[in-house]
Chains A and B, each alone.
Chain A
Amino acid sequence: MIGSGVSVVGAGMVRFGERFDAGYEDLAVAAWQACLDAVDLGIDPDRVEAAWLSTALGGLIRREAVTGASLADPLGFHPRPVTRIENACAGGSDAIRNAAYAVAAGAYDVVVVLGVEKMRDLPTRASLIAQRGTMSHQWWHPRGATSPYLFAQHATVLVEDGTLTREDMALVSVKNHDHGALNPLAFMRGRVTVEKVLGAAPICEPLGLLDCCPTTDGAAAVVLCRSEIAGRFTDTPVDLVATSLATDTMYSHTKPGFGFQDAPTRAGEQAYRLAGFGPDEIDVAELHDCFTIAELLAYEDLGFCGRGESAKWLRSGGPALGGELPCNPSGGLLSKGHPIGATGVAQLCEVFWQVRGQAGDRQVDGARTGLTHNVGGNGQVCCVNIARRR
């Protein structure tokens, strides 16, 4: 439990994709409205006292400083407070964490956390993949390094030492696309095969195009409130039982090794400690599968399987729908999409729907407790949140 208790009582998101039909503000307003509309017993919008906004690329793409007013203005929410959070790809989950602590501290009864990213206001080749490693820091992002490199460097080590095969990674893509095909809000809804993944254009060897998440527009929002008053908004509140953030060093070459990630491991351990239970009580997980290899690392970092056993666990069907602990039933970043600042919030939306039995064709039977795992940079930061139906 976080302080005196924080609950999730509403969740909403827009369809992820190449949303050429909608701008940054359109996406944000739609997600805001969707999450308020989803509150079971209704909510007076004036009861929302504060908001947290997660967006990562706003400043780069919109060429202006992005403040909380970029959410308050289109909503007419001013003068109420909106805090903008940026923490690379983990910003969405970290915004939830900061909002939760504000509620737990008694500052507010009801708040909204909203993540939004408008990535396709740039051509795909100007996206994160291409932007790294041109004139950046000598050691941090050496010349020629890209975003896929941040995770692919783990894959090389594990493939060369025989721990993993390219097929093992491809199976993550196949699984998550299978899941995403069942999610009407997902971006890439087509199923793929191992052959198709292995035959896709190489991006950052050993990763190919279908090992990588797509450049995505999207927005997602959740309503948080003090647990004591959750009953005013719903008969089935979901309690946020743990939220945890860990950091690691910045540089790839100052990580303690490859084939595991320190910050996600520590964020997971701390979240389990706060929750008072471990991975065996997790029914469903939304993992940061920005690249296929990242999901395999997450299984082990979070203790879903033993070290070195991710491929075996994947092939046993453990993380698939119907398996031991379904991972990324939403389709994950690979299929649902990865609008940077919105991702962590969308992960909690999926967990909210799953533990309340509202996930439609991709419902995990009997799910009550869900975990989100949101990694920033090359494992520089990781935020893990755990929510449980009361």
Chain B
Amino acid sequence: MAVGAHIAGMASYVPAGRLAVAEVRRHWPGAGAPPGVRSVSVAGFDEDVVTMAVEALDALFAVTGVGSDEVDAVVVATCSSPYAEHSAAAEVARALDLPRSVALVDLAGSVRGGVVGLSTAADGVAAGRWRRVVVVAADARRGEPGTPVEALGAGAVAALVAEAGGAALGASTTWRHGVPTRWRPDGSRALRSYDDARYERDELVVPAVRAVTAAAAPGAAPEFAAGGYTDARSPAAIAKACDLGAGGEVDLGVDELADIGDLGTAGPLLALAHCLSRAEPGARGLCFGAEPGAGADALPVTVTASVPVRHRRPETAEVDYVGFLQRAAVLEAPSMAPIVPWAATPGAERDDLEGALVGAECRACGSVSIPPRPVCLDCGSRSSDLRSVPRQGAVVTHNRQHVVAVHPEPTPVSVGVARLDGLGGARGGQVSAMFCDSDLDAVRVGSPVELVYRRLGADDGLVKYGWKMRLR
């Protein structure tokens, strides 16, 4: 490498909400839960991966003193972007007004993304392509209700990777291993799992982590080993199985794991931030991330000077299970200002009266006002009688519409005016309607038609009925 890549600062954000695992178990007594996890952090109604990433990056800029206009690339790693397609990195760059020329790197679809993002940034800096890169890993995942993976944590962790900094990054290592045991099908928002935690840990995670950590730090006992975990009991077990050192000898950085749960892509980076905040110069360690069934990645980290770290932690607030489901949009609260289907309104009731086949026949001139009016359309007389009107008539004018938002009828559709048989008046005695069941090429002024009762569309599932005309 021409130049080294270093972490020059880290910052994190964990949202205020806390869902107690006991609260979930109260509702799903038999479902199981991640061992050792007391609660998980829950994003607010107005929070998502983008807003949490912005919080973490904002704290990162503040703690490092680097300006948002000095960034060459932004790497966003997440499994729970608000978009299945559309760059979350672009949204983050837009929110923080990063330079228009900033490189946007989106890493999605695996919790390995956090560590992969760090190594991507390190490679870009070491190769001289970028001078300063911000990496942010953020997640707000949830699992299928009533399963052991239902309650997952939410939060974001950011790192500044630059040519100079307090923690030197070495060459990353990677290893593919196993078959998938945690997956989210296309179109679903909930993680599913093959519910066998010991198989997952011992046969899928440990072999992959052992492979990458051995390759990243051959022969050396690390002073810290920052990883991501699905529960709070496995860190010690994995460290031991992978020869990373027994409890107390190695800093695992899992300070908050029992309080906030599995942070997905952000988990290894949060552990690294905790480790770096107390590592002495000269300390050597690792950051690694694993997805059960996909494998693992590790990055060697050597501390040369103190690394500024800032954690943003709003005061926590307890969230009950229903509140959690609402925040996760499993239960969707009705809007306080619903879109009103017109067909259900008082106005539609009046429209119905006006849309009926009823007219006001003038006692003075015989014109039939449709819809009924208190004053005759033609002569202005105020004396009239309500009467039903005939359904047969003749076309007065008509047009074939090619650009019109009707549904489900295909375009073109024709619309016109008809004079109803035997009704008097110049302005009176006519109706407007769409044609149905007719050869539109055959419609002419004067063509005989009849009115038929049909669907006039649906609005929010409410059907509107009324009159159309067809050639007879």
Q: Which residues of B (423-472) have their CB < 8 Å from a CB of A?
A: 426-428, 430-434, 444-445, 456-457, 459, 464, 466-468
- Interface residue count for B (Cβ, 8 Å)? 46
B414, B417, B426, B428: the one contacting A252 at CB < 8 Å is: B417
Q: Of A19-27, A79-87, A196-204, which binds chain B?
A: A196-204
The answer to whether B406 and A144 have CB atoms under 8 Å apart is: yes
Contacts of A161 in B (CB 8 A): 445
Q: Of B89-97, B125-133, B214-222, B393-401, which binds chain A?
A: B393-401
- Interface residue count for A (Cβ, 8 Å)? 43
Contacts of A253 in B (CB 8 A): 370, 396, 417-418, 430-432
- A146 on the B face (CB < 8 A): yes
Contacts of A143 in B (CB 8 A): 406, 413, 415, 433-434, 456-457, 466, 468
The answer to whether A156 and B445 have CB atoms under 8 Å apart is: yes
The answer to whether B355 and A133 have CB atoms under 8 Å apart is: no
Contacts of B406 in A (CB 8 A): 133-134, 143-144
Which chain A residue lies CB-closest to B462? A135
The answer to whether A156 and B398 have CB atoms under 8 Å apart is: yes
Question: In the bound complex, what is the Cα–Cα distance between A89 and B342 (angstroms)?
Answer: 25
Among A202, A203, A253, the one with the most B-chain Cβ atoms within 10 Å of its Cβ is A253
Question: In the bound complex, what is the Cα–Cα distance between A305 and B226 (angstroms)?
Answer: 88
Contacts of B468 in A (CB 8 A): 143
Contacts of B349 in A (CB 8 A): none
Contacts of A202 in B (CB 8 A): 400, 402, 412
Contacts of A316 in B (CB 8 A): none
Known contacts A143-B468, A145-B434; decide if A138 and B399 are in contact (CB<8 Å).
Answer: no
Contacts of A138 in B (CB 8 A): 351, 354-355, 456, 466-467
From residue B232, how far is it (CB to closest CB) to chain A in Å? Answer: 47
Question: In the bound complex, what is the Cα–Cα distance between A146 and B402 (angstroms)?
Answer: 10
Question: In the bound complex, what is the Cα–Cα distance between A129 and B399 (angstroms)?
Answer: 14
Contacts of B370 in A (CB 8 A): 139, 253-254
Known contacts A144-B434, A153-B417, A202-B402; decide if A254 and B377 are in contact (CB<8 Å).
Answer: yes
Contacts of A152 in B (CB 8 A): 399
The answer to whether A142 and B430 have CB atoms under 8 Å apart is: no
- B404 on the A face (CB < 8 A): yes
Contacts of B355 in A (CB 8 A): 137-139
- A157 on the B face (CB < 8 A): yes
Interface string of A226-247 (1 = CB under 8 A from B): 0000000000000000000000
- B172 on the A face (CB < 8 A): no
A133, A156, A249, A256: the one contacting B397 at CB < 8 Å is: A156
Known contacts A137-B351, A139-B354, A153-B416; decide if A131 and B467 are in contact (CB<8 Å).
Answer: no
Contacts of A155 in B (CB 8 A): 399
Contacts of B433 in A (CB 8 A): 142-143
Contacts of B400 in A (CB 8 A): 202, 204-205
From residue B182, how far is it (CB to closest CB) to chain A in Å? Answer: 40
- A195 on the B face (CB < 8 A): no
Question: In the bound complex, what is the Cα–Cα distance between A62 and B464 (angstroms)?
Answer: 28
Which chain A residue lies CB-closest to B347? A137
The answer to whether B456 and A249 have CB atoms under 8 Å apart is: no
Question: In the bound complex, what is the Cα–Cα distance between A131 and B405 (angstroms)?
Answer: 7
The answer to whether A145 and B401 have CB atoms under 8 Å apart is: yes
Contacts of B343 in A (CB 8 A): 135
The answer to whether A204 and B342 have CB atoms under 8 Å apart is: no
B413, B418, B457: the one contacting A135 at CB < 8 Å is: B457
- B369 on the A face (CB < 8 A): yes
Question: In the bound complex, what is the Cα–Cα distance between A253 and B464 (angstroms)?
Answer: 21
From residue A133, how far is it (CB to closest CB) to chain B in Å? Answer: 6
B377, B402, B404, B445: the one contacting A249 at CB < 8 Å is: B377
- B371 on the A face (CB < 8 A): yes
- A130 on the B face (CB < 8 A): yes
The answer to whether A149 and B354 have CB atoms under 8 Å apart is: no
From residue A204, how far is it (CB to closest CB) to chain B in Å? Answer: 5
- A77 on the B face (CB < 8 A): no
- A189 on the B face (CB < 8 A): no
Q: With contacts A149-B401, A207-B399 known, what are 14 further pairs, Cβ within 8 A? A: A132-B404, A135-B342, A135-B343, A139-B354, A139-B370, A144-B414, A146-B403, A156-B398, A204-B400, A204-B401, A205-B402, A252-B432, A254-B430, A255-B427
Closest 7 CB pairs of A and B: A138-B355, A253-B430, A144-B434, A144-B413, A205-B400, A153-B397, A130-B405
